[in-house]
Amino acid sequence: MCGICGAYNIIDKDLLKSMCNAIEHRGPDDEGHYIGADVMLGMRRLKIIDLYTGNQPIYNEDGTIVIVYNGEIYNFLEIRKFLEQNGHTFKTNTDTEVIVHLYEELGDRAVERLRGMFAFALWDSSKKRLLLARDRIGIKPLYYYCNDGTVIFASELKAILRYEKIKKRINFNALHDYLTFMYVPAPDTIFRDIYKLEQGHILVCENGNIEIKKYWDVNACFHHDDLEDLFKDEASIGEKMYELVKESLRLHLISDVPVGVFLSGGLDSGTIVAALSEISNNPINTFSVGFPDERDSEIALAGVVAKRFNTVHHEYIVNPASMGDLQKILYFFDEPFADSSAIPTYYVSRYARESVAVALSGDGGDEIFGGYGNYKADKIGLFLRKFPAVVRNKLTRFIVKAIPALDTAKVGKILDALRTTPERAHILWLNCFSEDSKRELYVENHLMRLLDRNSMDRYSSFFNEFDMNDFINKCICVDIKTVLPNDYLTKIDRMSMANSLEVRVPFLDHKLLEFAVRMSSKYKLRGLTTKYLLRKIMKDKLPKEIITGRKKGFTLPLASWFREDFSALVNEFLSKDIIQKRGYFNFTFIKNLADVHLAGKGDNSKLLWALICFEIWHRKFIG
């Protein structure tokens, strides 16, 4: 695992060194540079595979092709054998070197043979050609800036911002979308003229031209001819799926340093530990975080799994007093990011790094196995829409009365979801600020002009890419293209790399993912039982509490903390002086949000958190 950076059409050794310094946390073990006629490449290395000869940059036999690379190629031994049979010679034992020789064989199509997580920059000096690539799912990040034939790229935005000619100007479209989703959706970033290279894409610079191409899309998974052969019956589907889980885990164990597991107490991480116990005789190091209030914590369930499989278990309690690190934690995202589970993820990463250099995480399990609660809401919505509006309204009122714990905001979301299309309803559950609330929030002219642009439109368009009748599967695929790389994988990458820890996500092996998404959603959501088939497979392998337990994960109890210790954050970051000084938002509206929440009359914690995260980002990057 590493951080990479560089530039095309700029040669500035001081800039390259400065960019490497900005991402030193991603690779504290080594630094490497390449300076050519038209390109410069830099990297910071965290040693995981081939500890002694795997330093980068890596070259082909005659030195005409050079690469800097971030990630892991899990099938590199298989590819290496193929390349050696074709006459290629290797100087190292690292997975990085196979990419260079595979490019010699296949050109840009080399990315299609790679199984793993990666972002790399490859320079072909004979053709004066730069190739940037990002893995299929978007596990590893890659950002770029383009201007007049110049390209600057890096694993993190902070490295690109070391180029002094880039003005730190806010992309107001991105801010508008951030307030809806609590992150900035790709390909935008919060800065004008800087972009994310999207999942499954490559960027090619050649002869002064810049071209971006897609090489993989989850939509292509449904155009195979083997669907009937693969999905004959439930038993064979389950057997094949579990074999793919174990195959992925075997590959993800390849390492020259110790490997551990993030254990949340949920079904996904429990499955990883159970499957590892079947395929490995080595002791399993597991790491969990919890909260002082047991109602918010899965740490007890994690302990049940650890005891069942006799793991070497480590626990860490996160409490509001830990929030002294808040500004430091949010700094690593480089743009506003308000997924509060980033905080416990940071601490479990920091704690795990004391014992291991690599950890396995259950991220991606909710997408491929159908685990999110909003999939249940989607299914209920489909059922209710079968009734006439009058009957549907009566049923909705009955549901709302039957769940008295729901606050006004959640009731409003339920009603809004049933008034709109199923596609919009799915996105609605992910929303922070609604378009109506933005009308009350905005006072800045650029933002006011965006009030007629609904942020949900950019996600609604993804549904049109999937020609299928299985709506739940369609929602899952849209999530794989949107919230998964933009939120969950961004979170796990930044928080782990902030602690120089490599985190691997075996459920996002693309062969497992392609199989799982093609399964009918009846194997994922049976009635209102999420992860139906996975629960059935693991029924006799995991403790009953895990099979029947309610999903929590590493989720911060924001609502209660904001009424207690976090109330000081509102005063520190959302005061009248600060809000009016910035000139973006309406202080009266924000004060009302805070007053309602602190009085216990509603849950506005997500809204307040999104605004606080924006202010913390603004202070660090804009001033």
Q: Which two tokens stand for residue 532?
A: 């139906």
Of the candidates 606, 360, 604, 369, the one whose C-alpha atom is nearest the C-alpha of residue 506 is: 360
DSSP string, 25-65: GG-BSEEEEEE-SSEEEEEEE---SSTTT--SSEE-TTSSE
Extract the runs of DSSP E, i.e. beta strands, from 509-604. 525-526, 529-530
Of the candidates 111, 195, 167, 151, the one whose C-alpha atom is nearest the C-alpha of residue 486 is: 195
What strand order describes the sheet that includes 312-317?
312-317, 285-290, 259-262, 358-360, 502-504
* Distance separating alpha carbons of residues 50 and 362, to the nearest angstrom: 26
CA distances from 159 to 6, 41, 69, 163, 515 (A): 9, 12, 16, 8, 37
**Do the Cβ atoms of 94 and 83 come closer than 8 Å?**
no
Burial of residue 546, with CB atoms counted within 10 A of its CB: 0-12 exposed, 13-18 middle, 19 or more buried: buried
**Do the Cβ atoms of 479 and 508 come closer than 8 Å?**
no
How many residues make up the chain in this entry? Answer: 623
The rounded Cα 559 to chain-centroid distance in angstroms is 23
Q: Which two tokens stand for residue 486?
A: 């933009």
* Distance separating alpha carbons of residues 366 and 371, to the nearest angstrom: 4
Rounded to the nearest 10 degrees, how much is the dihedral formed by the CA atoms of 287, 291, 296, 302? Answer: 20
Show which residues are catalytic.
2
Q: Within 10 Å of residue 429's Cβ, how many Cβ atoms?
A: 17
What sign has the CA pseudo-torsion 504, 144, 488, 217? negative
β-sheet bridge partners, residue 179: none
How are beta strands 201-206 and 129-134 bridged, if at all? antiparallel
β-sheet bridge partners, residue 44: 3, 31
The rounded Cα 566 to chain-centroid distance in angstroms is 26
CA distances from 155 to 187, 197, 200, 341, 532 (A): 14, 10, 16, 22, 37
Of the candidates 235, 330, 291, 283, the one whose C-alpha atom is nearest the C-alpha of residue 569 is: 330
Q: For residue 80, which phi and psi values (nearest 5 degrees)? A: -60, -45
**Do the Cβ atoms of 156 and 334 come closer than 8 Å?**
yes
* Distance separating alpha carbons of residues 233 and 356, to the nearest angstrom: 41
Extract the runs of DSSP E, i.e. beta strands, from 478-620. 502-504, 525-526, 529-530
How are beta strands 529-530 and 525-526 bridged, if at all? antiparallel
Of the candidates 505, 481, 19, the one whose C-alpha atom is nearest the C-alpha of residue 261 is: 505
* Distance separating alpha carbons of residues 194 and 466, to the nearest angstrom: 29
